[in-house]
């Protein structure tokens, strides 16, 4: 008896920030509060896991790097991207947004799980801190 194996590639490859924004729009969140979404990627930049990891208030959201990288390691991620909304709709990163992204990039380098981007979004648009 001959066996045939069909290997199916994962969908949702993230080649640019717009690809990620299309995935974000599929997630049901409360836009009246900040939500931080973690996207875990494999070596081919395909999403292997995503979840809302932190929720905040109107203008802030606490971020714990240990939680982010614990989830990433649990899902055998090669890299991660974080995304969060600004309830005000303003896409400009705050000083805290910039500092968190830099901290996650440094932490990720140490454990070899790179933080590729931090995306700020509202219902219609996004801003990539990577670009």
Dig out the tokens for 33 from the structure: 């509060």
Q: Which domain holds residue 91?
A: 17-128
- Inside any domain, residue 7: no
Domain count, the chain: 1
Residue ranges, the chain, pLDDT below 70: 1-11
What CATH number is given to the structural domain containing 97? 3.40.140.10
Contact 70, 78 (CB under 8 A): no
- Inside any domain, residue 8: no
Strand arrangement, sheet containing 114-121: 47-55, 35-41, 79-85, 114-121, 126-128
- Inside any domain, residue 39: yes
Q: What is the pLDDT of residue 37?
A: 97
Give the pairing type, strands 79-85 and 47-55: unpaired
- Inside any domain, residue 3: no
């Amino acid at each position: 008896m001959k066996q045939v194996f069909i290997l199916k590639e994962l969908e949702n490859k993230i080649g640019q920030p717009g690809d990620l924004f299309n995935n974000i729009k599929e997630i049901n969140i409360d836009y009246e509060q900040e939500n931080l979404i973690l996207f875990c990627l494999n070596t081919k930049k395909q999403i292997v896991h995503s979840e809302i990891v932190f929720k905040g208030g109107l203008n802030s959201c606490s971020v714990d790097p240990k939680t982010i990288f614990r989830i990433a390691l649990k899902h055998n991620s090669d890299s991660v991207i974080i995304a969060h909304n600004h309830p005000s709709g303003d896409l400009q990163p705050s000083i805290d947004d910039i500092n968190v992204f830099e901290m996650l990039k440094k932490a990720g380098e140490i454990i070899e799980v790179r933080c590729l981007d931090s995306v700020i979004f509202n219902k219609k648009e996004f801003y990539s801190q990577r670009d």
